[in-house]
Amino acid sequence: MTNHKFALWVARRYLFSKKSHNAINVISGISAAGVSIGTAALICVLSVFNGFGTLIQGMFSAFDPDLKISLVEGKTFNVNTPDLLKVKKLGSVAHYAEVIEETALLSFSDRQMPARIMGISENFNKVSSIDSIMYDGSFVLYDGAFQRAVVGIGVANKLGINARVINPLQILAPKRTGRINMVRPESSFNPASAYISGVFVVNQPEYDDQYVLTSLSLARELFEYDENTVSGLEIKVKPTAEIQKTKTEIRKILGERFKVLDRYEQQEDFYKITKMEKWITYLILCFILLIATFNIIGSLSMLILEKKEDIRVLKNLGAGDKLIKRIFLFEGWMISTLGAVFGITLGIIVILLQQHFGFLKLGGDNYVVDAYPVVLLFSDILITFVSVLIMGFLASLYPVKYISPGGVSK
């Protein structure tokens, strides 16, 4: 039997054998329980962050396309150049929608507000999942006779409108050409009107409180753009194709003048903040877990005192200080490992129960979901397990380091 296996065998005997002082068993149990609770809490909290991230990502994906093409510098571009026509005909592109996005002033009754006007082609519902987030009415931009508009729920609340109002929404945009008439300043604006056909809700203020969707023809007329001009091109990738591969292919075709953004890059700031919050919380819980592992120091110190006669016997049989220290180091490591295994098991059980029964509620009627969303990732389990083992090892080093040749800690 090698020294490594012998040390592990002795440590396992010490861990599960009955000690002469019951307090050592109690402290060892408390140490393992503390590590278990901390590990379970870490698994659960990370899963809640994953759940909220997945929930919000689903909300964004209902509005954002798979890929979005825009200029690196500048606002608008010609959508019918040879390169962009080649992009539209790519085998991996299922649908595309032309977009013009500008700021304008909305007016309805006696209320006014600035908003982002997003003029889109009729197949926008094939590029995004806009139909799935309609709160009121339907997605219609032109009914054959009148221009229509679909507004965010925040815009609808501020203006006091819905899909059943009779009067049209007035839209005013500053003229891009010509001089400002100081005598008649209202003549410096291009007016347009659209009847409300629907209200959408993304549950994100940057969309709900700012965006109004109109037809591409209305936006071009309002902002004085010709039929070839757009500010963006949104693409739906075929289910059988890879988004990242298509993105790379489009970049090669268009060159450095254009940027091609996937869903993550379109909301990069949000995802970075979410990840930052998750890992800051992870570090805080790791610090609490580190404090819990300090119980291992007390447990090992008392065990070393109890086993001082065994240490002397092992020394007389030829065991070196390195082997003896390794025995008690394995002992502490096994306590933390046992706690980590039980904690991960407990955390997984809690998460599965939450997924199926949702017993932890958010406590209000104004939330998108009733209960805390949770998503369990194997990477979180692995990171948590490794973190606990490292902290258990560090906590075990202190009492083991000061074992004297006689077997008593200094």
Which residue among 263, 296, 327 closes a domain? 263
| Residue 408 domain flag | no
Phi, psi of 393 (to 5 degrees): -65, -45
Does residue 99 share a domain with residue 82? yes
Residues 143 and 220 in one domain: yes
Residue type, 177: T
Is the pTM for the entire model greater than 0.75?
no
Residue 108 lies in a domain: yes
Q: Are residues 249 and 296 in the same domain?
A: no
Is residue 24, in this structure, part of any structural domain at all? Answer: yes
Handedness of CA 281, 284, 290, 291 (dihedral sign): negative
Report if residue 195 sits inside a domain.
yes
Domain-terminating residue out of 220, 246, 263: 263
336 and 391 in a common domain: yes
CB 222 within 8 A of CB 190: yes
Local confidence pLDDT in tens for the 410 residues of the chain: 565 665 555 556 655 555 544 555 666 677 778 888 889 999 999 999 898 888 877 777 788 899 999 999 888 999 999 999 999 999 999 999 999 999 999 999 889 999 999 999 988 989 988 888 899 999 999 988 899 999 999 999 999 999 989 899 999 998 877 666 655 656 678 899 999 999 999 888 888 999 999 999 999 999 999 999 999 999 999 998 899 999 999 999 998 899 999 988 888 888 888 888 888 988 888 888 887 777 777 666 666 666 666 666 666 566 655 666 666 677 777 777 888 899 999 999 999 999 888 888 776 556 667 788 889 999 999 999 998 888 887 777 766 666 554 444 44
> Which domain range does residue 34 map to?
3-60+271-401
Do 325 and 382 fall into the same domain?
yes
Is residue 324 in a domain? yes
Of 263, 281, 308, the domain-final residue:
263
Structural domain count of the chain = 2
Residue 359 lies in a domain: yes
Residue 196 and residue 131 share a domain: yes
182: which residues sit within 8 A by CB, 6+ positions away? none
CB–CB of 335/392 below 8 Å? yes
Closest CA to 10 of 234, 285, 330, 348: 330
Instruction: Answer yes or no: is 407 within a domain.
Output: no
Whether 406 maps to a domain, the answer reads no
